[in-house]
Amino acid sequence: MIDFSMPAELAAERDRVRQFVIDKIVPFERDPRLTAHGPTDELRQELVELARAEKLLTVQAPESLGGRGLSHIEQAVIYEAAGWSTLGPIAMNCAAPDEGNMFLLSKVANPEQVERHLAPMVAGQHRSVFAMTEPDGAGSDPAQLATTATFDGENFTVNGRKWLITGANGAKTWIIMARLAENPHLPAGPTLFLTDGDQPGIVIERTMNTMDRNYVAGHGVVRFDNLTLPQSALLGDAGQALRYAQLRLAPARLTHCMRWLGAAERAQSIAVAHARTRTAFGKPIGEHEGVSFMLADNEIALHQCRLTIWHACWLMDQGEKARHESSIAKSYVSEELFKVADRCVQVLGGIGISDETVVEMIFRDIRAFRLYDGPTEVHKYAIGRKVLRG
């Protein structure tokens, strides 16, 4: 039997999260520490403490690490509520890239790595990065990975350049993807390394100026300059980075969908309020069909996005990888929510493009979602190949 009802406890927790975000987090949206390069670490820490006080910090983490071990579908409900403000997931420590990195480490890290890196991340103390994308190598096609690693039987030496690395400036924990060269000790090929951020071989060249500003510390251009790592820095098995990246990406792209769904709902609520009160040609603009249809299209899209997300989550909760369904969800939801945000800007008229409301920020932030964790075209490329295979 298919049952669409929501357990009362989960609904109550969703409402508690939404109220927490409205009461305690939304006021920080005008804080000067929310900069063009995203929230500062100081702002993040202040928000994290607010969530900690409400027992809402890192609720998704495994119970063994102090979280509540939420299922994927429970995450969908809670993250949507958190996403009402782009600062909500940061406060609750369920924002990218930390959320996906914590998931990956919970699956792949050994006990020493859990203690040194994952535990402080779950506690909200450390931030982390996932460094894959390169100016002339890995991007849509991670197999183009150009950053190299050599191994002499004792240490690795990593060299290469990456960009669009979210949170690079100030992150304590780094997950780095590099191509391990042939050597007599370990399998060669794309490999993940886990290390501290503050060391001489990691050079942060600059923080990029981007149109979004919802990620802590923005996006960095970084260089690995003869970065020397001990064998213990190996994350999982050598040569398995692309497999681990997939393990991380399928749920991570869904959690992006969940958070942005919450943000798009917020934009819709502002547009609806405006359509009820702003008048033109003798009546509230919402009574003009051109406007009510835009709001109706938004309502339809939000509902369809939620169902698409929930279905992929449900499959994963049954133990399936749901790669195809998460690809469908990611491409569909990112495109639809961008259209929702755009229509909200339109309903607001001229103020839609100003920071008089948070809609303008949501519109800019949500635009980037059509690119990261796989651009729409790359997901469609994968979906299309599967369709043709039959």
Ligand X SMILES: Cc1cc2nc3c(=O)[nH]c(=O)nc-3n(C[C@H](O)[C@H](O)[C@H](O)COP(=O)(O)OP(=O)(O)OC[C@H]3O[C@@H](n4cnc5c(N)ncnc54)[C@H](O)[C@@H]3O)c2cc1C
Q: Which residues bind ligand X (CB under 6 A)?
A: 97, 129-133, 139-140, 164-166, 212, 219, 368, 371-372, 375, 377-378, 381
Nearer to ligand X among residue 70 and residue 241 (C-beta): 241
CB of 377 to ligand X, least distance (A): 3
Cα 37 from Cα 208, distance rounded (Å): 8
Q: Which is nearer to ligand X, 43 or 131 (CB)?
A: 131
**How far, in Å, CA of 387 to CA of 377, rounded?**
15
Instruction: Provide the minimum distance between the beta carbon of 252 and ligand X in the complex, in angstroms, as a whole number.
Output: 10
Minimum CB separation of residue 98 from ligand X in Å reads 10
CA–CA gap between residue 67 and residue 73 (Å, rounded): 16
Taking the C-alpha atoms of residue 61 and residue 98, their distance in angstroms, rounded to an integer, is 11
Pick the closer one to ligand X by CB: 17 or 94: 94
**Cα(110)–Cα(231) distance, integer angstroms:** 13
Using the minimum distance from each CB to ligand X, give the nearer residue, 20 or 215: 215
Strand partners, 229: 156
In the complex, minimum distance from the CB of residue 213 to ligand X, in angstroms, rounded to a whole number:
10
Compute the least distance from the CB of residue 134 to ligand X, in Å: 8
Residue with smaller CB distance to ligand X, 320 or 377: 377
287 Cβ contact list (under 8 Å, min separation 6): none
For residue 93, the minimal CB distance to ligand X (Å) is 16
Give Cα separations from 148 to 159, 160, 163, 174, 361 (angstroms).
Answer: 5, 6, 15, 16, 38
Nearer residue to ligand X within complex by CB, 97 or 352 = 97
Q: Are 212 and 164 in contact (CB under 8 A)?
A: no
Residue nearest to ligand X (CB): 139
* C-alpha–C-alpha distance, residues 99 and 102, integer Å: 5
Q: What is the nearest approach in angstroms of ligand X to the Cβ of residue 372?
A: 4
CB 324 to ligand X: min, Å: 16
Q: What is the largest CA-CA distance in the chain?
A: 80
Of 131 and 361, nearer to ligand X (C-beta) is 131
To ligand X, the closest distance from the beta carbon of 361 in angstroms equals 14
- Tell me the closest approach of the beta carbon of residue 84 to ligand X, in angstroms: 20
DSSP string, 18-65: HHHIIIIIGGGGG-TTEETTEE-HHHHHHHHHHHHHTT-SSTTS-GGG
Nearer to ligand X, 75 or 210 (CB): 210
Q: Cβ(150)–Cβ(193) under 8 Å?
A: no
Distance separating alpha carbons of residues 295 and 390, to the nearest angstrom: 37
Which residue, 283 or 389, is less far from ligand X as judged by CB?
389
Q: Which residues pair with 192 in a beta bridge?
A: 177
The answer to whether the CB of 92 falls within 8 A of the CB of 57 is yes
**64 Cβ partners below 8 Å, 6+ apart?**
none
Helices (H), the chain: 8-20, 41-53, 72-82, 88-91, 98-108, 111-113, 119-122, 241-277, 289-317, 323-347, 359-368, 376-389
Q: Using CB atoms within 10 A of its CB, is residue 376 exposed (0-12), middle (13-18) or buried (19+)? A: middle
Is 132 or 229 the residue whose CB approaches ligand X more closely? 132
